[in-house]
Amino acid sequence: MEKQHELSLKTVIIGLVILVLAVVAFVWIIRMPASYKRVVVAKVNSQEITDADVQEMMNLASPWFKNSGVDITDRAVNDKMKKEALAVLVDDALMAQDAQTLGISTSTEAIEGAYNQAIASFPSKDEFTKSLGEIGLTEEGLHKKIADQMLIETYLENRLSLSTVSASDAEINAIYPSVASQLPAGQSEADSRNAVKDAIIKQKIQSSQTQLLAELRDKATVWIDSNWQ
């Protein structure tokens, strides 16, 4: 279950940036005061990650927690999810640093397109700016988050060719009989087989990413404050 939470956090942050802005009044948000002194809770080579960085990710993921039935107000659950959010930030730093080393980048046009899409999801620019303020983000901060996440997506595609990952009929046939009874009732066989295919592809992608991150960690100097809560 912990890995499922971590993977979900990895894959939905950009979408949640928009969603949390739209429903900020209904989600659990913690705002750090301007005078707050950030505490370094991890380092990836020379890059520092602070408790405020972790809380910012938690804020962005609040709608996902709410929709998934995760009670983030529970202290034990909150501590667990903070550690998983920190793990995501460490992984992202590893990949971003490797992308920089390899000269991988994302086009300005693509970043601006995603940023403008976020703005367009609101009735007006004023509403967009107001919602950003509600979660303690500036337009510059949001722009950077989108750029950072798109860089990681570009990096993963470059390193792992994720768009070419597929599942053969033989692989689907090997799994389908054992999971058919667990699929939604009334679903056609074609749709069920497509669901199995998607699951196989996701598993392959997860495995490839896990292996890549293990290799990056072996080459990096990573420190995490094991006592931080």
Whole-number average pLDDT of the chain: 81
149: phi then psi, degrees, rounded to nearest 5: -70, -35
Model pTM score: 0.78
Does 10 have pLDDT greater than 90? no
| Domain residue limits at 147 | 2-166
| pLDDT for residue 19 is more than 50 | no
The pLDDT value given to residue 59: 75
Whichever domain contains 12, its CATH number is 1.10.4030.10
Would you say residue 183 lies in a domain?
no
Q: Is 69 part of any domain? A: yes
Q: Kindly state whether residue 188 falls inside one of the protein's structural domains.
A: no
Q: Look at residue 228 in the predicted model and tell me its pLDDT.
A: 81
Is residue 136 in some structural domain? yes
Domain count, the chain: 1
pLDDT at position 201 is 94
Confidence band (pLDDT; 50, 70, 90) for 13? very low
Confidence of residue 106 (pLDDT cuts 50, 70, 90): very high
Q: Is residue 194 part of a domain?
A: no
In a domain, 184, yes or no: no
- The answer to whether position 193 is within a domain reads no
Spell out the SS3 assignment of the chain: CHHHHHHHHHHHHHHHHHHHHHCHHHCCCCCCCCCCCCCEEEEECCEEEEHHHHHHHHHHCHHHHHHCCCCCCCHHHHHHHHHHHHHHHHHHHHHHHHHHHHCCCCCHHHHHHHHHHHHHCCCCHHHHHHHHHHCCCCHHHHHHHHHHHHHHHHHHHHHHCHHHCCCCHHHHHHHHHHHHHHCCCCCCHHHHHHHHHHHHHHHHHHHHHHHHHHHHHHHCCEEECCCCC
Q: Is residue 123 part of a domain?
A: yes
pLDDT over 80 at 98, yes or no: yes
pLDDT for 34? 54
140 pLDDT above the threshold of 60: yes
